[in-house]
Amino acid sequence: MEHLPDHLLSGYRNFMGGRYSTETKRYRELAATGQKPMTMVIACCDSRAAPETIFDSGPGELFVVRNVANLVPPYQPDGGHHSTSAALEFAVQSLKVKHIVVLGHGRCGGIQAALDPGAEPLSPGDFIGKWMSMVAPAADIVANNSMMTVGERQTALERISIRFSIANLRTFPCVKILEDKGRLSLHGAWFDISTGELWAMNRQSGDFERPGNG
């Protein structure tokens, strides 16, 4: 097993002696009957914002897509290989999830790059630039708002892009139809790495609010 980094092997041994050992029955059932998660989470790749950690989730609970800055592109059935759209389709049509949560977080590197597209080390022709260009119109407006601090602009764009992803979710016919029928709900959330606070998007106003602060 010299084929994996030591820190992963050591963590895996903890898993086997811990969670797997106490939840063996659950794993076996999940293997035998297949997954039936109620919730899909679209989260960021950031190592500090894993949804299973933030929501203390066990096996079988969350179907999770993770890409840079937790973006959802618009519905675009052009025959290309669409990672996020494929996962969305699978979650909604095959697994029939009841909730989709777009989970953003503070100090997101992708959002930072979008606000400062010329910055090192990401060059103009790269994939990150293209990927984050999905939020370019909002990024331009926010970046030009010199009245907000750097930190405020970052948080603002993080939250705008969550609302933007939720809007894009609704361009997928299967999402729109099921949401209209009341069989699927869309949610936004934003995690503050430093304080551990979770802010949930108010579905009426679009505002982000803290528990008990509604």
According to DSSP, the residues that pair with 100 across neighbouring strands are: 40, 186
- Known binder of ligand: residue 174? no
* Residue 92 per-residue DSSP state: I
According to DSSP, the residues that pair with 19 across neighbouring strands are: none
- Known binder of ligand: residue 207? no
Q: Closest approach of Cβ 180 to a second copy, in Å?
A: 19
Q: Within positions 146 to 165, which residues make up the interface with a second copy, using CB under 8 A?
A: 147-152, 156, 159-160
Amino acid at 97: V
d(CA 88, CA 61): 16
Instruction: Verify binding: residue 167, a second copy, rule CB under 8 A.
Output: no
Question: 132 with 68: CB under 8 angstroms?
Answer: yes
Nearest partner of 100 among 52, 159, 60, 40, judged by Cα: 40
Instruction: Verify binding: residue 14, a second copy, rule CB under 8 A.
Output: yes
**Nearer Cβ to a second copy (180/197):** 197
Instruction: Verify binding: residue 20, a second copy, rule CB under 8 A.
Output: yes
Instruction: Verify binding: residue 94, a second copy, rule CB under 8 A.
Output: yes
d(CA 198, CA 126): 32
Instruction: Verify binding: residue 104, a second copy, rule CB under 8 A.
Output: no
Q: According to CB under 8 A, which one of 116, 117, 128, 143 is a site residue for a second copy?
A: 128
Q: Binding site residues for Zn(2+), as ranges? A: 44, 46, 105, 108
